[in-house]
Structure 1
Amino acid sequence: MTDKLTIAMPKGRIFEEAAQLLLKAGYKLPPEFEDSRKLIIDVPDEPFRFMLAKPMDVTTYVEHGVADLGIAGKDVMLEEERDVYEVLDLQISQCYLAVAGLTDVKVKGVAPKIATKYPNVASSYFRENGEQVEIIKLNGSIELAPLIGLADRIVDIVSTGRTLKENGLVELEHIADITSRLIVNPVSYRLKDQQIDEIVERLSKVVSQ
C-alpha cells in the first residue's frame, strides 16, 4: 500500500487542462506522463499518483474509495449523483448542456423522443418543465439521432456549437453550464484531510488568478 493520494482523472481535454493547473500550482509532473498509455501513473516527486479513467467512471472510483480525489465534469456529477464531496470548481473545460434538434420538424406522437447519453439529466429537466418525453440512451454520435429519425431532439454537451451546425442542428434550450470540479471521497477527506486541503488550497490560488 502507498500513503500517496490517488487522483482519478479522465484522459483528453480535462486531463491536459488539469495538468496545467497542477503545474501552475507548483507541482512537479513527469514530462512524459501526458503521452503515457499506463492507467496508473506515479508522480515520484509529489504525494499523489494518477488513475486514468473514462470520464463517466471518475465519480464511481471516488465514491468507492479506490481514488481519494477525482476531476470530473459537472455533467457527469449531475448524471451520476454519486456520494462524493465537490470541493473546488476548477473552471476548466467550460461548456454547457443543451437541447438541440432540427429546425421546423414536427414531433411525432404525444411524447417527443430525446436521444442522449445523459438520461437522468434529461429526464429531470423535462419533468421539471412539465413535458412528457421518451428518453433514448446513446453512448456516442448523439447528433445522428435526429438525422435518421431515431429521435426528435437531443440533449448533449455543447462547446463551440460547430458539431451541431455541421449536422444541421440548432440549439433549442440551455440546460446548465458545465465546468470540471475537484471531488473527494468522504472517508478519504476524514482520514487525509491535511493532504487534501493542501492540494485544494494550492489549486484554489491558481484558479482564482
Structure 2
Amino acid sequence: MQEPLILAVPKGRILDEALPLLARVGIVPEAAFSDPASRALRFHTNSPAIDLIRVRAFDVATFVAHGAAQLGIVGSDVLAEFDYSELYAPVDLGIGHCRISVAEPADLAERDDPRGWSHVRIATKYPHITRAHFEARGVQAECVKLNGAMELAPVLGLAPRIVDLVSSGKTLKENGLVEVEVIAQVTSRLIVNRAAFKTRAGQVVPLVDGFRRAVA
C-alpha cells in the first residue's frame, strides 16, 4: 500500500479559515487535531490516503519544497520570500487575506515622505521581499531580521521602520505605528512539490482538482 500523502498546514489564523475549505474537499482531521492539549504534530484524517502535519507558516514551504510533505497551504508572502523552484502553486485558495506593508511611528510619518528615501533601515522577517521592493525603487534597504514582535523595533530604537503582515492594522495602531506603503496583497495558496506532482500524479492531481472545485 502506498504511503499517505502529507498535507502541511500552518498554525494560527490561516488554519481557522482553511478547515472549512478542507471539509469541502472531503478532508476531515482526526479529533486530536482540534484538541488544545494534544502535542502531536502529525494527524490522520478520514481518508487513509491523506495525513496532515501542523507546522509554522514559514516551515510549510520548506517541508513541501524538500519533499517531506507533498502538498501544503501557505501564504503568498512565504512563497515570495523563499522563492523555492521545487514548489508549484496551482490554486489561490482565496483565504488568509492580508498585506505586506511598510510601517513607521505616527510622529515620523507626519513629516516623512517615502518618495524621498534613499536608504532605509528596516526590521522584518521578510528581508528578501523588502530588499527586492526597495531595490526596484533605487532605495538601499538595510534589513534587521526578526521573527516576531516587529512593532517593538521602532519603539526600542532597533530600526525606525518595519515591514510586516497587516490585516486589520489594530496591532500597528496599538503600538503607535502607521502604514506608509503597501508592498503586496497576500492570500493563501495550495502548494505542491513538483517531483510529487509527477511521481504521484494519480493521488495529487485529483486532490488539486478537489481544491479548485472547493474554491470555485
Q: Same fold (TM over 0.5)?
A: yes
Could you tell me which residue of structure 1 aligns to residue 60 of structure 2? 58
Partner secondary structure for residue 76 of structure 1? helix
Aligned counterparts of 1:59 and 1:175: Cα–Cα separation in 2? 21
Equivalences, count: 207
Could you tell me which residue of structure 1 aligns to residue 22 of structure 2? 22
Aligned counterparts of 2:8 and 2:118: Cα–Cα separation in 1? 42
Aligned counterparts of 2:156 and 2:29: Cα–Cα separation in 1? 46
Question: What's the CA shift for 1:99?
Answer: 0.4
Q: CA RMSD in A?
A: 1.9
Q: Which runs of 5+ in 1 are unaligned?
A: none
Could you tell me which residue of structure 1 aligns to residue 94 of structure 2? 91
Could you tell me which residue of structure 2 aligns to residue 157 of structure 1? 165
1:127-177: per-residue Cα shift (whole Å, max 9, x none)? 111111211111111011111121121100001000011111110001101
Aligned counterparts of 1:207 and 1:58: Cα–Cα separation in 2? 20
Change (3 A) 1:44 1:26: closer
Partner secondary structure for residue 21 of structure 2? helix
Q: 1:119 aligns with which of 115, 127, 130?
A: 127
Check conservation: 2:29, 2:44, Cα contact below 8 A. Answer: no
Is 2:131 aligned against 1:134?
A: no
Aligned counterparts of 1:138 and 1:67: Cα–Cα separation in 2? 26
Question: Which structure 2 residues correspond to residues 75-86 of structure 1 after superposition, within 5 A?
Answer: 75-83=77-85, 84-86=87-89
Give the 4+ runs in structure 1 shifted more than 3 A.
none
1:106-145: per-residue Cα shift (whole Å, max 9, x none)? 78x9732111011111111111111112111111110111
Q: Which runs of 5+ in 2 are unaligned?
A: none
Aligned counterparts of 1:27 and 1:137: Cα–Cα separation in 2? 36
